[in-house]
A and B are shown apart, each in its own frame.
Chain A
Amino acid sequence: MSSYRSSAEEGRALAGGRLWPRNVGGSYFYYILLAVAVAAFLYYLYSYRQQALVYLPSLLVGTLVTLIISVLSAIFATILGLIVALGRLSPFRIVRWIAGAYVEIMRGTPLLVQLLLWYYGVGGLLSANGLNPHDLLFQVMTVLQNNSLVPTAFNGFFYGIIGLGFNYGAYLSEVFRTGILAVEKGQMEAALSLGLDTRQAMRHIILPQAIRVAIPPFTNNFITLIQDSAFLSVLAVVELEYVTIGLALPQLDPNSKFFVFILGALLYLALCYPLSLLALYLERRLSVIHLDV
């Protein structure tokens, strides 16, 4: 009898997300040790407070730039992703084919190569033909008497955001496409039989439900987008990773070099970890809603 009960408990332990059934005590000591480890890490940061105070302001500006780049390219990628997702579900074969090829090429090549292609390849070609985004914006801002606001590395920003947007547009199109396909067929049929045309049904019936499904994977994609924006440091965009590298590499003392790298990574963690908690929360929250009821 007791063995039966224990196996039932083990089953419940498995249900709770544990792979190993048996529970063993003594976890208080772990938390004490964890607290000691965290305290040691904080002391490590504290012992470099001189460097931290000097470098944190520029690192925080870099964090802000990273955030701005990520938000702008996420907006661009969302618009693009929605268009491509609708394109992949379009009744015209040629539109489907173009959207599919776009997604395959974007997902089949590294983001770094795409960014280099945008910046040096496309950007270089356009600049050689007199289409330099930085110079154009500079002239516009000169007319508006504000050309000091234009950063010197504007081309990096411009092509970086375009490259990130195009890359993530492909990933988000898959997110939106699965979202649209997750909405039950009956919804579309009901909308059509109620007299809505296909476009209205898409706009008012399918998309609002699809977006609900798509929100958790969208948040996850946004987190990886923030991390991938670190690639823009290769294009000399002054974002967090570029600032970190710029401050760390000239350090003569290996310990402080290591410290600056750790500080930069910590700021990324501070940016991404709350978002990943949010994604987890949204996943739990939105999975309760049964769309097919």
Chain B
Amino acid sequence: MDVIWPALPAFLIGARNTIIYCIVAFPLALLLGLVLALMSGSSLIWLRGPARIFIEVVRGTPIVAQIFIIYYGLGSLLALTHNDFLVGLINSWSSGIGTLALNYAAYEAEVYRAGFLSVDVGQAEAALSLGLSPGQSFSRIILPQAVPLMIPPFVNDFIYMLKDSAIISVIAGSELTSVLNFWVNRNGSNPLPFYLVAIVLYLLMSLPVSYVARYFERRVRAAL
């Protein structure tokens, strides 16, 4: 316990930073995912093709490789320009948030797609035959039915993001796992208490959210 007390404020700041990373990155991922889902659901190959390629490439490569490409690869490429703005663009905050948002956008796109497609085709047909335009049928009929189905996977993905934000520690960010690494290095002879603190903090962040997910899931199941 004596080892933990001096480290606890730093750990709490780390946990706060983890939450900030996720709260900024997740809406970005949702927005980009919606764009990707609408693109990949289009019958225009100009929209569908690039979206499918983006989704498959992002889902086919590890997030660690992506953060390295963005932080070191893109960072060093931008350093070539000697433009102060472009060079300052890549830091651990921006590349962490950017990687999380880009990576999760690909997954959220699939959630959106599955949600839209799970609404019965008859609903869209009925809306169209009642004289609604395709846009109206999408926004008035399909969307309100699809959104409740998509909420549980979104909440689950938010938990995944809370945990995946740990990868920011490989580029020495300021979130919980980076703090953990710092304190473990500083106090290498007795690292176990620090791991315990980090695990408890992660559980404190993820378990309440997972109960929220389960609550929504139960509601959806009851509604069906």
Q: Is A bound to B?
A: yes
Which of A20-28, A53-61, A199-207 binds B? A20-28
In the complex, per-residue mask of B168-185: 1 if CB is within 8 Å of any chain A CB, else 0: 011000000100110010
Q: Provide the residues of chain A in CB contact with B65, threshold 8 Å.
A: 230, 241, 244, 261, 264-265, 268
Quick check: is B64 within 8 A (CB to CB) of the other chain? yes
Interchain nearest-CB distance for B196 vs A (Å): 9
Q: Are A110 and B163 in contact (CB under 8 A)?
A: yes
Quick check: is B77 within 8 A (CB to CB) of the other chain? yes
Q: Are B195 and A19 in contact (CB under 8 A)?
A: no
In the complex, per-residue mask of A224-261: 1 if CB is within 8 Å of any chain B CB, else 0: 00111011011000000100110011000011011001
Residues of A182-233 whose CB lies within 8 A of B: 223, 226-228, 230-231, 233
Q: Provide the residues of chain B in CB contact with A105, threshold 8 Å.
A: 199, 203
Compute how far the CA of A130 lies from the CA of B5 in the bound complex, rounded to whole angstroms: 30
Q: Provide the residues of chain B in CB contact with A21, threshold 8 Å.
A: 43, 134
Q: Contact size class for B?
A: 35 or more
Quick check: is A80 within 8 A (CB to CB) of the other chain? no
Q: Provide the residues of chain A in CB contact with B138, threshold 8 Å.
A: 19
Quick check: is B99 within 8 A (CB to CB) of the other chain? no
Chain A, Cβ-Cβ closest to B165? A110
Q: Provide the residues of chain A in CB contact with B181, threshold 8 Å.
A: 116
Which of B44, B66, B192 counts the most A-chain CB atoms under 10 A from its CB? Answer: B44
Interchain nearest-CB distance for A194 vs B (Å): 32
Q: Are A258 and B73 in contact (CB under 8 A)?
A: yes
- Of B38, B69, B165, which contacts A265 at CB under 8 A? B69
Quick check: is A149 within 8 A (CB to CB) of the other chain? no
Quick check: is A141 within 8 A (CB to CB) of the other chain? no
Q: Are A121 and B192 in contact (CB under 8 A)?
A: yes
Residues of B31-54 whose CB lies within 8 A of A: 37-38, 41-46, 49
Which of A10, A19, A22, A31 counts the most B-chain CB atoms under 10 A from its CB? Answer: A19
With A18-B41, A30-B49, A230-B62 already in contact, the answer to whether A113 and B202 are too (CB < 8 A) is: yes
Compute how far the CA of A269 lies from the CA of B72 in the bound complex, rounded to whole angstroms: 20
Quick check: is A40 within 8 A (CB to CB) of the other chain? no
Query: Helix, strand, loop or mixed for chain A's interface?
Result: helix
Partner-A contacts on B (CB < 8 A): 37-38, 41-46, 49, 56-57, 59-66, 68-69, 72-74, 76-77, 79-80, 113, 116-117, 121, 124-125, 128-129, 134, 138, 159, 163-167, 169-170, 177, 180-181, 184, 191-192, 195, 198-199, 202-203, 206-207, 210
Ranked 3 nearest A-B pairs via Cβ = A19-B41, A254-B76, A110-B166
Partner-B contacts on A (CB < 8 A): 4, 7-8, 10-11, 13-15, 17-24, 26-27, 30-31, 34, 104-105, 107-113, 116-117, 120-121, 124-125, 223, 226-228, 230-231, 233-234, 241, 244-245, 248-249, 254-255, 257-258, 261-262, 264-265, 268-269, 272-273, 276
A-B residue pairs in contact (CB < 8 Å), sample of 27: A8-B125, A10-B134, A11-B125, A14-B125, A18-B42, A18-B43, A19-B37, A20-B43, A21-B43, A34-B49, A104-B203, A110-B164, A110-B166, A116-B180, A121-B191, A227-B61, A241-B62, A244-B68, A248-B73, A254-B76, A258-B69, A264-B65, A265-B62, A268-B60, A268-B62, A273-B56, A276-B60
